[in-house]
A and B are shown apart, each in its own frame.
Chain A
Amino acid sequence: MLNFFAAGEDQPRLADAALIDEQFHYHRRNVIVVIILCYGLGYVCRLALNVVKKPLMDAGVFTPEEVGFIGSMLLYGYALGKFSNGLLSDYSNVKRFFAVGLFLSAMMNFGMSFSSIVWISAALWILNGWFQGFGAPSCAVALANWYSNNERGRYYGLWSTAHAIGEGLTYLGIALLIALPPKGLGLSWQFGFWVPATICIIAAVIVYAYLPDRPRTLGLPTVAEWRNDGGEKARAGEHNAASILKDQLKVIAIPSIWIIALASSSMYVTRYAVNSWGNVYLQEIRGFDLFDANFFIFLNTAAGILGCVAYGYLSDKFFNARRPPANLLFGLMELLPLFVIFYGPTNTTILAIALVVYGFGLSGILASLGGLFALDIAPKKVAGAAMGFIGIFSYFGAGMQDYISGKLIYDSEMQVVFTMGDSSSTVFFYDYSVPIMFWIGASVVSMVLAGSLWKVRASD
């Protein structure tokens, strides 16, 4: 079983320079396209619950606290998965690792559509989180294997658009299925799990077919040697398990990595608060229907595509690969619109603009705090471990957020119940003022922590 996932053996180096160039161009194109497309598609299986949250609450299947609890399970599972799978992915053939994760995640989504029991749903969703955790480390390792230091910022930025694509696809596409006519198809909430599951199976097939193993397993030199990237050539040694583990342990001895991890964790509180509860807030408090509410969240994630690319480009080109000034810039673009979204005028155009700016800033800062900043500092051979370390903090923060937000929302619940003999009809009312303070406060904490690393530079 483990052999199935293991990275291939290094092959004798090809002698033909032209063939090497051709192979690199072919595989590098495949890598970036496959990791963006399939990581994005995989996100649909992660976010399905967010879209059907309100229908589940309105139907009385789960309370906000229960939905928050179930949602938090995915994030805990993902945190653990991202860390452990981060360690494993450094040794694995990432195409198999990633493809299996996507397939199993699809199975969990199918399972969720048949469960109305909290503990079963929670168990399925923590496993889904675990399987979702196969993706990011696989993609990070693929990036580290196929793109060298002085270009990685741009490609990392490109890959970071994947989550925005996946979020957009979920909040627009899945909402379209569930929303009532005439805006949507009016399908039952179960379709919010069935369709994502189908999409993830397709993504798994694409990954398995097109994502390559490490260059050395294909008879190619390392990418640093091929691109003559001096910063990395010194480290382009043998793929030795003992040395990898030693380097992996070094990651947790770097204080800056801990601060980035905490900053990322705080930013993930806000990120997942808006993504998990933002559409519910817009429906409950602002009175939008399911489709419009999810469309607003889609705007934030669509803007995130540009935010990721802009962050990588700006920090590489204008700040000489220094992340802290770019962090401040994008952090402010993330924080200030939150005040407009939650406390600003009720005008829908202003709300839409605020969500776009927020999404742009958030995706940029996440591209940095969620990994790029750490990748700069950590040894490149253990890119997966660095990502995993940041990931476990980030997703534990996000997981705690989901439960805490659900609890705070549930605490504010007021019911208007119309009794009719043995049956009754209930309408729920919630107050989001306390959760909103929690969400914005987390962004402030993240900015302060990220700002404390102003003088930190890349290890190169």
Chain B
Amino acid sequence: MIAILSLGACGKDNGVDYCDNHYGFHTDHLDTIAELSIELTDSGDLDGRLMMPQAVFGDMAESDIRKLLGDAESTFVLQSEVPCRISVTNISSTDRKFEAQYAANCGTDNKLGRISVTLFDQLDGLEEVVASVTTSATSKRFAISRQCDAPIFRLD
């Protein structure tokens, strides 16, 4: 029994620790973390809010940033029984942050099976997204990091 247990108790390398115990590293790289919240309702409404630190855009001009954030259908690919569209409703910015809001209505009888988020593909400087997703049944908060294979649920 002890031998079996000891097999799994071997030391982990730094990469695994970073992903398993992420809360310890979280504050070290706040300027490269985006925040995403998505709320889905029973009536088929989707409300999204994305907050991006300026740093993740690198040298991009503000007009290009607004163009990128405004292209909702490239950033969020919705997969449902009947296709439905997502659009940006507002983009605002402060000195160090951009905020974009999105909305979609897929209808009550149109099951939304997947939301694909392509932010990492579009922004090389983006290291991590902390996401809060709320459905009519549940709510989850997690982080997606370029350095980790799986979503990180231990944030606090």
Could you say which interface size class chain A belongs to?
35 or more
Give a binary string over B116-151; 1 marks a CB under 8 Å from any A CB, 0 the rest.
111111000000010101011111101010101111
Of B49-57, B59-67, B89-97, B107-115, the one with at least 4 CB within 8 A of chain A: B107-115
Q: Does B82 contact A (CB under 8 A)?
A: no
Which residues from chain A contact B9 at a C-beta distance below 8 Å?
Answer: 185, 187
Q: Is A62 an interface residue (CB 8 A)?
A: no
Question: Which residues of A pack against B, CB within 8 Å?
Answer: 58-59, 177, 180-181, 185-188, 191, 194-195, 198, 284-285, 287, 412-421, 423-427, 429-433
**Given A416-B115, A419-B118, A430 and B154 touching (CB < 8 A)?**
no
Q: How far is the CB of B30 from chain A (nearest CB, A)?
A: 19
- B38: which A residues are within 8 A, CB to CB? 416
- Chain A interface mostly: mixed
Interface residue from A191, A416, A418 paired with B8 (Cβ < 8 Å)? A191
CA gap between A424 and B119 in the complex, in Å: 12
Among candidates B138, B148, B149, B150, residue contacting A287 with C-beta atoms closer than 8 Å: B138
Do A426 and B1 touch across chains, with their CB atoms under 8 A apart? no
Please state if A187 and B137 are interface contacts (CB–CB under 8 Å).
no
Looking at the assembled complex, report how far the CB atom of B145 sits from the nearest CB atom of chain A, in whole angstroms. 8
- B20-A432 in contact (CB<8A): no
Beyond A285-B138, A425-B144, list 20 extra A-B contacts (CB 8 Å): A180-B20, A180-B154, A186-B20, A187-B8, A187-B9, A194-B4, A195-B1, A284-B138, A285-B137, A412-B137, A413-B113, A414-B113, A414-B115, A416-B117, A417-B117, A419-B121, A420-B120, A427-B133, A429-B140, A431-B137
Interface residues of B (CB under 8 A from A): 1, 4-5, 8-9, 20-21, 38, 40, 111-121, 129, 131, 133, 135-140, 142, 144, 146, 148-151, 154
A26 CA to B98 CA, complexed, in Å? 79
How far is B136's CA from A432's CA once the two chains are assembled, in angstroms?
Answer: 11
Residue of B whose beta carbon sits closest to that of A190: B8
Q: Is the CB of B121 within 8 A of A198?
A: no
CB distance from A187 to the nearest CB of B (A): 4
Asked whether, in the complex, the Cβ of A431 is within 8 Å of the Cβ of B140, the reply is no
The answer to whether B137 and A432 touch across the interface, beta carbons within 8 angstroms, is yes
> Is A427's CB under 8 angstroms from B151's CB?
yes
State in angstroms the CA–CA spacing of A130 and B151 once bound together.
37
Tell me whether A419 and B8 are in contact (CB under 8 A).
Answer: no
Partner of A431, one of B1, B5, B136: B136
